[in-house]
Amino acid sequence: MPSARALLPQMRVIVGKPLNILSVDDEFRVAHALAFTLSNPDRKLTLAFSADEALAKLNEHSESFDVVIVDHKMPKMSGIELVRRLRGENFGGRIIVLSAHLTDENRGAYAELNVDTMLSKPFDVYELREVVDNLSTAFAGANFTARGAE
């Protein structure tokens, strides 16, 4: 018999929608590498190439995003500023920071903003998938619990 952990991704299909992810990175190659890396029927990925575009997508999107993946170093608005805005607007999803510019000071700032995970570029494809899958499992469990209580 499969373990409960193995069944959770299948339960997502039964109890809810795919994990809705917004990826924010100003580098075209990185954004598309993320799209390739995270391609999966259990995930819906939307790309934004700037913090302003990400905020617009968050405001116009009919379904809320479960996860936002943020690059730290972007023109006009840094990842820290974007996360600060997300938290200020009560974004309830998970946040992953993916950057080659994570100093101890940056890590401390992100930690204060309750970022869920920080990964360095170049990123390990398997590690990123594992992080997203773990967040997906957490959301599936939360969706199952919430719907089971109705």
Phi first, then psi, for residue 9 (nearest 5°) are: -60, -35
Residue 150 lies in a domain: no
Interval 120-149: pLDDT, tens: 888 888 888 899 888 776 655 554 333 333
- In this structure, what CATH number is given to the domain that contains residue 81? 3.40.50.2300
Confidence at residue 37, expressed as pLDDT on a 0 to 100 scale: 87
Dihedral, CA of residue 114, residue 122, residue 125 and residue 35, to nearest 10: 80
Q: Give the rounded percent of residues in the chain with a pLDDT score beyond 70.
A: 78
Which candidate, 75, 74, 77, 114, places its Cα nearest to that of 98?
74
Residue 131 lies in a domain: yes
Confidence at residue 142, expressed as pLDDT on a 0 to 100 scale: 52
For residue 41, the SS3 value is coil
Residue 60 lies in a domain: yes
Whether the per-residue pLDDT at 5 is higher than 50: the answer is no
Residue 57 is part of which domain span? 4-139
Residue 149 lies in a domain: no
Residue 8 lies in a domain: yes
Interval 90-114: pLDDT, tens: 888 899 999 888 899 999 999 999 9
Our count of domains for the chain comes to 1
Residue 148 lies in a domain: no
Phi first, then psi, for residue 20 (nearest 5°) are: -95, 115
- CA atoms of 121 and 99, how far apart (whole Å): 5
36-42 long-range contacts (CB < 8 A, ≥24 apart) are 37/125, 37/128, 37/129, 38/128, 38/129, 38/132, 42/9, 42/12, 42/13, 42/18, 42/136
Residue 144 lies in a domain: no
- CA atoms of 124 and 61, how far apart (whole Å): 29
Residue 23 lies in a domain: yes
Q: In the block, which residue shows the tokens 């190659």?
A: 29
